[in-house]
Amino acid sequence: MTSTQWIALSLATDPPRHKSLVMTICGDAIAPHGGAFWLGSMIELLAPFGVNDRLVRTSVFRLVQEGWLTASREGRRSRYALAPTALPRFERANRRIYAAPGQDWVGRWTFVLATNGSIDSDLRALVRKELEWEGFAMLASGVMAHPAPDRDLLRDILARTGAEGRVFVCQADEVPDAGSRPLPELVGDCWNLDAVVLGYRGFIETFAPLPALLARGDVSPAHAFAIRTLLIHAYRRVQLHDPMLPLPLLPDPWPGADAYALARTIYQLSHERAEEHVLAMLRVEDAATLEADAAFRGRFGGLAPATLSRP
């Protein structure tokens, strides 16, 4: 199988939704280069995926409506940028995607307590929905828990929902010799990880052929970009359902660790040629487009220069 065949098979087997694909490109390829793009460049970037200009325009328009992008015009050209209010969410998503699964855990759990009367039922439901989206589990009515949440993210959720200062947030660890069940057993009671395991295994099966294909060194910049984008798109989709629990609390072996290692290898092999394509497309409309920022080089624990030969 060639890289061209793999891309065609991937698009035919599991075609990505157009708006979601634009989001992936914004986070993975646009953000490192200043966070802005001209519509013509995005149309060119979506071309390898078989997305026509009408669908690109529709997807971008919807992202503006939803507050992810801002729009401006210069003559007949349209320019878009990551919205300032959306930037923290892109940054959090990037930390989640490109960071290794959590190895360390001190044994403490974080609890969010919404006592009776502290918030109304609508706000309670909203807080629960937002926390569950970020991997929290509901232990009982008004009690949400996670063993290792992102504190900045938790603070943002409470502020964004209007629950800041109205719920209790605390940490707890196991009381020794109290005759209680071990706290790690909460994982089995509160999270059903079967679907997450299947998602990671499916990801590994789909992307396993790519390291050998990329190592041949005959992948064009456009195809390297398509592979890198499909990789992050699929990996992000699996991660959305992963509560991101510390590895010591997960079944051993945990397929999420293998999926991360595979994603890192493929990204390492494809990122330089993919960047050639990204810059070429962005500079068609804006010759002053910057090289990728330092945060880009820190992805997946650090991106070393690739050693692939050029076709």
Q: Label the pairing between strands 77-82 and 36-38.
A: antiparallel
Encode the chain in three state secondary structure. CCHHHHHHHHHHHCCCCHHHHHHHHHHHHHHHHCCEEEHHHHHHHHHHHCCCHHHHHHHHHHHHHCCCEEEEEECCEEEEEECCCCHHHHHHHHHHHHCCCCCCCCCCEEEEECCCCCCCHHHHHHHHHHHHHCCCEEEECCEEEECCCCHHHHHHHHHHHCCCCCCEEEEECCCCCCCCCCHHHHHHHHCCCHHHHHHHHHHHHHHCCHHHHHHCCCCCHHHHHHHHHHHHHHHHHHHCCCCCCCHHHCCCCCHHHHHHHHHHHHHHHHHHHHHHHHHHHHHHHCCCCCCCCHHHHCHHHCCCCCCCCCC
For the sheet with 143-146, list strands across it: 137-140, 143-146, 109-113, 168-172
pLDDT at 53 exceeding the cut of 90? yes
Residue 176: pLDDT band (50, 70, 90) is: confident
What residues does 113 pair with on adjacent strands? 143, 168
pLDDT, mean over the chain:
90
Residue 56 CA, distance from chain mean position: 21
Q: Mind listing the pLDDT tens digit for each residue in 206-232?
A: 999 999 999 888 899 999 999 999 999
Q: What are phi and psi of 69, to 5 degrees?
A: -125, 155
245 vs 181: CA distance, rounded Å: 19
Tell me how far apart the alpha carbons of residues 84 and 89 are, in angstroms, rounded to a whole number: 10
Instruction: List Cα–Cα distances, 71 to 32, 60, 67, in angstroms.
Output: 19, 9, 10
In this predicted structure, the answer to whether residue 11 has a pLDDT above a threshold of 90 is yes
Minimal CA–CA distance to 235: which of 266, 209, 211, 213?
266
Q: Which residue has the higher pLDDT, 278 or 240?
A: 278
The number of residues in the chain equals 311
pLDDT of residue 252: 85
Give CA–CA dist 229/28, Å, rounded. 7
* Model pLDDT, residue 309: 40
Say yes or no to pLDDT of 305 above 70. Answer: no
Percent of the chain whose predicted confidence (pLDDT) is above 70: 97
CB 92 within 8 A of CB 31: no
Q: Which token pair is 161?
A: 């929902």
- Other Cβ atoms within 10 Å of 247 Cβ, number: 18
Residue 229 to residues 20, 97, 234: CA-CA distances in angstroms? 11, 13, 9
CA distance linking residue 9 with residue 209, whole number of Å: 12
Taking residues 270-288, what's their average pLDDT?
95
Residue-level pLDDT at 37: 96
At residue 118, the pLDDT reads 80
The whole-number pLDDT of residue 304 equals 74
Mean per-residue pLDDT, 253-258: 93
What pLDDT, on the 0 to 100 scale, is given for residue 308? 44
Q: What is the pLDDT of residues 182-193, one digit of tens each?
A: 877 888 888 989
Whole-number pLDDT of residue 154: 92
Residues 48-59 have a mean pLDDT of 94
